[in-house]
Amino acid sequence: MPRTPNSRHTAETSIDRGPLLAVLGVSLDPELLQLALTHRSYAYEHGGLPHNERLEFLGDSVLGLAITTKLYRDNPTLPEGDLARMRAAVVSTVALAEVAERISLGPYLLLGRGEELTGGRQKASILADTMEALFGAVYLDNGQDAATALVLRLVGPLLNDSARFGAAMDPKTSLQEAAAAHGGESPVYEVTSSGPDHDRRFSATVTVVGLVSATGTGTSKKQAEMAAALSAWTDLNARTS
């Protein structure tokens, strides 16, 4: 049996979402918008409420079709493999999370306490999934044309920087390949950590001797190394392009 709504639930669901709708440039049924913003952790804590994963599933297809169609029409001479790589780059978790951060989506998310305590409002995976849920919600409430227009307005511009988002999907490999292409040695990583066990922070420095050095931080060694690698790749790409 669903639990009686508590004060936290009431406060969070009564947040003014007008500014978010203004940024999106659409009108949405309030219940559908709330569903799109509801993470499964929040739904579980409140007695098994519906959450946004079905909308995310729908929005993934809306996003993919809009970007695929644009790529196909705008690049009549590019082979399928190049089109696929460009699409994968801009519909990636990294790219969608950047869009979410640009429209300040984080404060509107409905998250469980565990996700709140571990920085869920800044987690790329949660932000990206919620963007897809919003695309799905817009499709259901406003139709395909409106959903496509929203995707192209928010995600379409990233196609101009698809190489960076492609690198962000696997920055360590991308840096390795870029270093080799420019005659450099293999990247070398050094990682340090600080803070208590429950809030550990990692800092990584990556060096390609004679070419580039960069740092990155994260909540895990892997995350810090990936951040450092992407920074180094971006720097190396800018210097040699």
Active site residues: 60, 132
129 is in an annotated binding site: yes
| Cβ pair 152, 44 in contact under 8 A | no
First to last CA, the chain: 61
Task: Give CA 99 to chain center in angstroms.
Answer: 7
The rounded distance, in Å, linking the Cα atoms of 216 and 158 is: 23
Tell whether 161 is in a known binding site. no
132 marked ligand binding residue: yes
Q: In whole angstroms, what is the distance from residue 130 CA to residue 177 CA? A: 32
Q: Residues with Cβ < 8 Å from 122, sequence gap 6 or more?
A: 106
Question: Do the Cβ atoms of 215 and 223 come closer than 8 Å?
Answer: no
Pure H helices in the chain: 7-13, 18-24, 30-37, 40-45, 53-74, 80-90, 93-102, 113-117, 124-142, 144-154, 162-169, 171-181, 221-240
* CA atoms of 166 and 156, how far apart (whole Å): 15
Residues of the binding site: 56, 129, 132
Residues of the binding site for Mg(2+): 56, 129, 132
